[in-house]
């Protein structure tokens, strides 16, 4: 066992200077069976499931920066599967079930904490929406229950419950299996497990362009030289349009900054993940005690990973309407990830219009919770050239045929 | 925070404005002749570039006029603005 209580004791004796690297840092080979562009959660999970489920391990994952340094390290770590339509509910619940076994599967503690995800309704209209939503969940076999105001108050005793509250508390929707997981550990766990199968995980390797053979894309030109493979898989979230342009096609994607921030750490004050339907603000408390807070998208397209002040102020204002007692907490850190928003808030897992390229994008604001499922169905598409049963609706052609899966409401974040 | 120079009102803070999409974006027609894929191109497909882009903005809380902004999506620098009827401003590299 490379990692055990004994190994911990042994390495403590040598001042923790002799731990093995979790994955190799190989020099790229010139040929692979599959090249995955993007070393975030989705790219690394895809590599892992390609090797494990399909026996394809001559795979490279290439990443411009460092592993999990994009949206995988910039989200609010929430996992849940309370989606509305059957296609999304089945897919996201599959992803959540994979999360439930992930620490054991990867031998890496992803610190999944299923502390419950509570969506708060503030009006009669919200309660109607929540009832409809719960019905959909139960029809789709996903756990979800309607709470009345008293039950929500038990879960969230600090929520503003005064008669003068601008957003009165009327009820809620609870998914008990929802919660949070440690985002870095998800990327690192998949990277280590994929590496153990022989996958080359290559960091600091930016794609500069594509290599063509006639109409077909047969490789990538990178800062570490030419890499060739019959299948190139793009899992680059907010930068999908940039790589698509290099390959000569367009996507129905618009890139926005999605911000999040954490407060200074405090003692336990919040037992679940809470989301307010009126303000779009959602928050949870990390194991360190920091409140992790997020809200809506910035209001115009951006590739700047920092976010803008007016949106941050709006989220903070919403937070304090809900929890006035947090007004004296200071913000420690603020950041933004560049998310790939599509019109119906449903992902695209499909072949690209250009031969040789495969797409995993369109996750918008909800990519983290989907990582195990996204990797699993994308690996299936890459290995078999057919969509996985759970991802049959996640095509590119739905934008022409009109078969959109409009998850805008259940996607949780205001667009 | 962007400071957007409205062609009519001068520089104003970003919360006064609303973003309105990339230009040029021309609706295909006549309706009977438009294929599904051409319609999808118009409705959904976007350049979404990292860098300079021409886009339409509305001064919602000001003069309520639409106008054109040349903006860098990577740095948020605003290179030029122009009134809607004027020729589209050139993108300077």
Which whole-number Å values give the CA distances from A203 to A157, A172, A247, in the listed order? Answer: 45, 43, 22
What is the distance in angstroms between the Cα of B71 and the nearest Cα belonging to chain A?
A: 10
What share of chain A has pLDDT > 90, as a percent?
A: 94
Q: What is the pLDDT of residues A71-94, one digit of tens each?
A: 999 999 999 999 999 999 999 999
* pLDDT for residue A410: 62
Which of 297-326 (A) contact B at CB < 8 A? Answer: 299-304, 308-310
Q: Stretch A192-216: mean pLDDT, rounded? A: 97
Are A252 and B37 inside 8 Å of each other by CB?
A: no
Which whole-number Å values give the CA distances from A157 to A112, A152, A154, in the listed order? Answer: 24, 8, 6
Are A254 and B46 inside 8 Å of each other by CB?
A: yes
DSSP letter for each residue of A291-321? EEEEEEEEEEE---TT--HHHHHHHHHHHHH
Kindly tell me if the per-residue pLDDT of B4 is higher than 70.
yes
Are B40 and A400 inside 8 Å of each other by CB?
A: yes
Which whole-number Å values give the CA distances from A55 to A13, A190, B16, in the listed order? Answer: 39, 16, 55
Q: How far apart are CA A230 and CA A218, in angstroms?
A: 5
Q: What is the pLDDT of residues B22-68, one digit of tens each?
A: 999 999 999 999 999 999 999 999 999 999 999 999 999 999 999 99
Contact residues on chain B for A255, CB-CB shorter than 8 A: 48, 50, 73
Contact residues on chain B for A304, CB-CB shorter than 8 A: 73-76
Kindly tell me if the per-residue pLDDT of A413 is higher than 70.
no
Straight-line distance from the first to the last Cα atom of chain A, in angstroms, rounded to the nearest whole number: 47
**Domains of chain B, CATH where assigned:** 44-93 (3.30.2270.10)
Which tops the pLDDT comparison, A164 or A235?
A235
A254 touches chain B (CB under 8 A): yes
* pLDDT for residue A196: 96
Query: If residue A139 lies in a helix (H) or strand (E), which one and from where to where?
Result: helix A124-139
* pLDDT for residue A3: 76
Interface size between A and B, measured as CB pairs under 8 A:
69
Centre a 10 Å sphere on the Cβ of residue A25 and count the other Cβ atoms it contains.
11
Contact residues on chain A for B53, CB-CB shorter than 8 A: 301
What ipTM describes this predicted complex? 0.96
Q: What is the pLDDT of residues A296-335, one digit of tens each?
A: 999 999 999 999 999 999 999 999 999 999 999 999 999 9
Which of 280-299 (A) contact B at CB < 8 A? Answer: 299
CB nearest A302 (choices: B41, B46, B73): B73
* pLDDT for residue A20: 87
Note whether A53 and A382 are within 8 A (CB).
Answer: no
* pLDDT for residue A43: 98
Average pLDDT of the residues of chain A: 95
Kindly tell me if the per-residue pLDDT of A412 is higher than 60.
no
* pLDDT for residue B92: 83
Q: What is the pLDDT of residues A111-168, one digit of tens each?
A: 999 999 999 999 999 999 999 999 999 999 999 999 999 999 999 999 998 888 999 9
Kindly tell me if the per-residue pLDDT of A192 is higher than 70.
yes
Return the DSSP state at A29. P
Which whole-number Å values give the CA distances from A174 to A28, A93, A171, A311, in the listed order? Answer: 47, 15, 10, 27
Are A400 and B39 inside 8 Å of each other by CB?
A: yes
Kindly tell me if the per-residue pLDDT of B93 is higher than 90.
no
Bridge partners of B68, per DSSP, are B56, B82
Q: Which residue of A has its CA nearest to B15?
A: A310
Q: How far apart are CA A407 and CA A120, in angstroms?
A: 18
Q: Which residue of B has its CA nearest to A240?
A: B48
Q: Which residue of B has its CA nearest to A338?
A: B74
Kindly tell me if the per-residue pLDDT of A344 is higher than 90.
yes
């Amino acid at each position: 066992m490379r990692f055990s209580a004994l190994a911990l004791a042994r390495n403590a004796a040598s001042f923790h200077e002799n731990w093995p690297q979790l994955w190799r840092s190989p020099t790229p080979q010139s040929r692979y069976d599959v090249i995955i562009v993007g070393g975030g959660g989705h790219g690394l999970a895809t590599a892992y499931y390609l090797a494990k489920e399909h026996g394809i391990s001559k795979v490279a994952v290439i990443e411009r920066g460092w592993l999990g340094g994009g949206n995988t390290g910039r989200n609010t770590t929430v996992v849940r599967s309370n989606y509305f339509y059957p296609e999304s509910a089945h897919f996201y619940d599959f992803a959540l079930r994979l999360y439930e076994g992930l620490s054991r599967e990867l031998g890496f503690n992803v610190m999944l904490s299923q502390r419950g995800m509570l969506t708060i309704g503030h009006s009669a209209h919200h309660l109607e929406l929540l009832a409809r939503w719960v019905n959909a969940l139960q029809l789709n076999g996903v756990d979800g229950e309607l709470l009345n105001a008293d039950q929500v108050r038990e879960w969230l005793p600090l929520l503003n419950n005064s008669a003068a509250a601008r957003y009165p508390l009327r009820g809620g929707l609870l998914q008990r299996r929802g919660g949070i997981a440690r985002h870095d550990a998800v990327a690192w766990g998949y990277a280590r497990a994929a590496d153990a199968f022989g996958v080359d995980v290559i960091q600091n390797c930016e794609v500069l362009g594509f290599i063509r053979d006639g109409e077909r894309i047969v490789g990538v030109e990178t800062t570490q030289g030419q890499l060739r493979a019959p299948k190139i898989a793009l899992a680059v979230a907010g930068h999908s349009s940039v790589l698509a342009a290099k390959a000569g096609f367009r996507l129905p994607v618009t890139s926005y900054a999605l911000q999040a921030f954490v407060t200074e750490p405090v003692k336990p004050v919040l037992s679940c993940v809470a989301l307010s339907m009126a303000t779009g603000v959602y928050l949870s408390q990390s194991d360190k005690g920091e409140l992790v807070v997020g809200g809506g998208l910035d209001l115009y397209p951006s590739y700047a990973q920092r976010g803008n002040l007016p949106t941050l102020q709006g989220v903070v204002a919403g937070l304090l309407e809900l929890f006035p007692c947090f007004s004296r907490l200071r913000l420690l850190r603020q950041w933004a990830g560049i998310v790939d928003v599509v019109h119906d808030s449903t992902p695209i897992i499909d072949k690209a219009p250009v031969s040789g390229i495969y797409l995993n994008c369109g996750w918008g604001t909800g990519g983290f919770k989907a990582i195990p499922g996204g990797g699993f169905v994308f690996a299936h598409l890459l290995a078999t050239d057919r969509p996985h049963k759970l991802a049959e609706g996640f095509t590119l052609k739905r934008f022409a045929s009109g078969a959109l899966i409009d998850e805008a409401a259940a996607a949780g974040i205001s667009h | 925070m962007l400071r957007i120079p409205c062609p009519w009102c001068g520089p104003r803070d970003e919360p006064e404005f609303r973003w309105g999409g990339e230009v040029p974006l021309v609706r295909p027609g006549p309706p009977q002749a438009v294929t599904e894929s051409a319609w999808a191109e118009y409705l959904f497909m976007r350049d979404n570039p990292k860098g300079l882009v021409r886009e339409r903005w509305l001064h919602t809380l000001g003069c309520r006029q639409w106008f054109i902004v040349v903006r860098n999506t990577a740095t948020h620098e605003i290179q030029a603005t122009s009134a809607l009827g004027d020729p589209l401003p050139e993108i300077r590299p």
